[in-house]
Structure 1
Amino acid sequence: MSLALSLGRRGLGRCWPNPAVGCVIVNNGRIIGRGVTAKGGRPHAEVIALSQAGGMARGGVAYVSLEPCAHHGQTPPCTDALIKAGVSRVVAPLTDDDPRVSGKGFAQLRAAGVQVTTGVLADQAVLAHKGFFLKVTQGRPMVTLKLATSFDGRIATANGESQWITGPKARRWVHAMRGTHDAVMVGGGTARADNPSLTVRDLGVQHQPVRVVVSRKLDIPTHSILAETARDIPIWICHGTDADPDVCRKWADLGARLFPCDLIGRQLDVASVLQNLGNAGLTRVFCEGGGALAASLLNAGLVDELVGFTAGLALGAEGRPGLGAMGIDALNDAPRFHLIDTQNIGGDVMHRWGRI
């Protein structure tokens, strides 16, 4: 099961809107097939593993990192494939939250005489499938918020110099994290100030995440890198319902996909932003700021994982803070996270936190 979960994690960022599932088929103590959900979500991991195993799957055991699907979608159910292949046992960590599957896959397997074992490494599977489960149960993707700051929490000097606070190994690590998410998201201010490409680079990665910009008025330069590459790598823009229609048309003509989102007062409602992204199929979003967007997500309780990269330099009070104003007067009102992991990445400290 540990191998199945590891295989599944290789598919993160590639197979949305489907979950990233891994499957390992064993017979007589020997691995005869393995698979991970393919890019775009099909074929499923079980089908790939069974194809490798061929006739040797009969009487074998299938270790699957999530309950096999039991419904007819664009492809037949994986339960049918497992039953037809003649596996004697299926081991899975937990039930799929998708109501089209939930419990039905296990029930179909048992009805066909296949032994089913559940609960194996379930805690790891819950983490691996968090984004998919959130999309199913809450209609929104999982959000990872990344902040790269000085020791005193600044993202730039007073005059805006920010390249580079953290070192090359930390930046490479961030690129790897981008690759495990369906989308990379920034606010309009970051898009204007940094002119980013928001791509995964220098890692030999073939796929690219969707690039999402959150900008109420859609006031992003059309001579930017994002605009110039919109037809090559998807760019989605979440804007206010009051954005200028002419500007919207201009971005649509460039190849961008536009999502009108609700407002709260004069600000975009980040819950509406995430609902739109979830409706479009995204399960995992990697937010890289800026400060106002990050603060809004934290205030709304919509950050599921917080990743910090802290450098050993201090910029002082005049430096630009990593977070915008949050209106917090009491410590009890501040969002808190629990520490998951900490590592030395090329002299910078990476610390990863989960929601309490």
Structure 2
Amino acid sequence: MATPAEIAAMRRGLELATRGPASRNPQVGAVILSASGDVIAEGWHRGAGTPHAEVDALSHLPADAARGATAVVTLEPCNHTGRTGPCAEALVTAGVARVVYAIDDPGDREAGGARRLRSAGIDVEGGVLADEGHALLDPWLTVRRLGRPHVTVKWAQSLDGRAAAADGSSQWITGAQARHDVHRRRSEADAIVVGTGTLIADDPALTARNGDTLFARQPVPVVIGTRPLSRDAKIWQHPQEPLLFATYDLAAVLDELADRGLHRVFIEGGPTLASAFLAQGLVDRLLAYIAPTLIGGPRHAITDIGVASIGAQMRLTIDQLLPLGGDVLVVATPESAVH
């Protein structure tokens, strides 16, 4: 069982971890305790290519000062050589007597650090403050599991599947409760993505609003497409600096967003962009806000998603049906999505 000093050190390690940048690499903190339970060194991971948290903490100690000490780390020490050496080996070399960590490393190459430490005669305790560790690293763990950011596609539609009237007008199909729900979910995302067509046609602000004010947390606006944008567009007033991608390689865009630590991506559309993400199998969750109204005409909420026959239809699992005033939100998962 972890001691009170080790639990306090783990809480400190989780705090230190947040000092590191969110990216494709995990945020990790480490604290070194003396045999008597006193803190003698701290460290955290400062980004790709820099020393990992354990090595950073050890670097602040004189030679042999960690011998017989306890290393408290928020993530299982890695057991592979990448841009840096394996942390498990660094701890063995340093002569620590005990290692305490919060959650197991999910990587195929990186995992196994605990096993290596035990084989060297080091006492190892895992799962200490595991819930807090998972909460910190949940976005990164999602990227590791999927190989890319988690993608949510959202649209609002009439009961007959239209996203706008024939003249292109679409404000508002759904009511106030549905729109508030959209903004709340935007505030939980790291990035909000639209195509240049939607940006030019609708000039959205792409902010997350709580009534007349902005939520404290704002997603980074991302624009995909090659059409030039007006310098008067509302997006340039966004609290976060917009990211522009003059490409239709959606996988490459997601790869770049993952590198930037934008792990939860919210696709706002329009229909062409949403359909492209669906067609390429890059969607993990769908949010369809359905209003009890009929519009007709050619402005469909979803266009070509590569379904040529009924046998190729994209099956969904309905996760939730949520009434929002007079509207209904359908939360669904493609059955082909990786989890």
Q: What TM-score comes out, normalization by structure 1 length? A: 0.63
Which residue number corresponds to residue 143 of structure 2? 132
Q: How far, CA to CA, are the matches of 1:292 and 1:324 in structure 2?
A: 7
Which residue number corresponds to residue 22 of structure 2? 41
- The answer to whether residue 233 in structure 2 is matched with residue 224 in structure 1 is yes
Which residue number corresponds to residue 210 of structure 1? 220
**How far off is 1:281 after superposition?**
4.4
Q: 1:45 to 1:222 in 2, by over 3 A?
A: same
**How far off is 1:336 after superposition?**
2.2
Structure 2 residue ranges without an equivalent (≥5)? 40-69
Q: Deviations 1:251-297 (Å, cap 9, x if unpaired)? A: xxxxxxxxxx3xxxxxx233333334345443221101110111111
Q: How far, CA to CA, are the matches of 1:84 and 1:117 in structure 2?
A: 22
Mapping 1:75-86, distance limit 5 Å: none
**How far off is 1:84 after superposition?**
11
Q: 1:90 to 1:279 in 2, by over 3 A?
A: closer
Q: 1:167 to 1:332 in 2, by over 3 A?
A: same
Q: How far, CA to CA, are the matches of 1:229 and 1:69 in structure 2?
A: 42
- The answer (yes or no) to whether the contact 1:46–1:78 under 8 Å persists in 2 is no
**How far off is 1:146 after superposition?**
1.0
| Aligned positions, number | 286
Q: How far, CA to CA, are the matches of 2:241 and 2:280 in structure 1?
A: 27
- The answer (yes or no) to whether the contact 1:187–1:293 under 8 Å persists in 2 is yes
Q: 1:324 to 1:182 in 2, by over 3 A?
A: same
Which residue number corresponds to residue 55 of structure 2? none
SS in 2 for 1:156: coil
Q: One-letter code of the match for 2:313?
A: A
- The answer (yes or no) to whether the contact 1:55–1:85 under 8 Å persists in 2 is no
Q: How far, CA to CA, are the matches of 2:218 and 2:113 in structure 1?
A: 32
Q: How far, CA to CA, are the matches of 1:84 and 1:218 in structure 2?
A: 59
**How far off is 1:209 after superposition?**
1.9
**How far off is 1:322 after superposition?**
0.7
- The answer (yes or no) to whether the contact 1:184–1:288 under 8 Å persists in 2 is yes
Q: 1:41 to 1:238 in 2, by over 3 A?
A: closer
- The answer (yes or no) to whether the contact 2:200–2:229 under 8 Å persists in 1 is yes
**How far off is 1:45 after superposition?**
6.3
- The answer (yes or no) to whether the contact 2:30–2:73 under 8 Å persists in 1 is no
Q: Deviations 1:296-334 (Å, cap 9, x if unpaired)? A: 1111111122122222x2223226211123353312222
- The answer (yes or no) to whether the contact 1:157–1:315 under 8 Å persists in 2 is no
Q: 1:73 to 1:166 in 2, by over 3 A?
A: farther
CA-based RMSD:
4.5
- The answer to whether residue 320 in structure 2 is matched with residue 341 in structure 1 is yes
Q: Deviations 1:132-172 (Å, cap 9, x if unpaired)? A: 2157x4xx322111112222222222222222222223222
Q: How far, CA to CA, are the matches of 1:183 and 1:84 in structure 2?
A: 43
Structure 1 residue ranges without an equivalent (≥5)? 1-24, 240-260, 262-267
Which residue number corresponds to residue 46 of structure 2? none
**How far off is 1:89 after superposition?**
5.4
Q: Deviations 1:171-212 (Å, cap 9, x if unpaired)? A: 222222222222100011110111111122227643422211
**How far off is 1:335 after superposition?**
2.2
The structure that has the greater radius of gyration is 2
Q: 1:47 to 1:151 in 2, by over 3 A?
A: farther
Q: What TM-score comes out, normalization by structure 2 length? A: 0.66
Q: How far, CA to CA, are the matches of 1:146 and 1:294 in structure 2?
A: 8
Q: How far, CA to CA, are the matches of 2:160 and 2:27 in structure 1?
A: 46
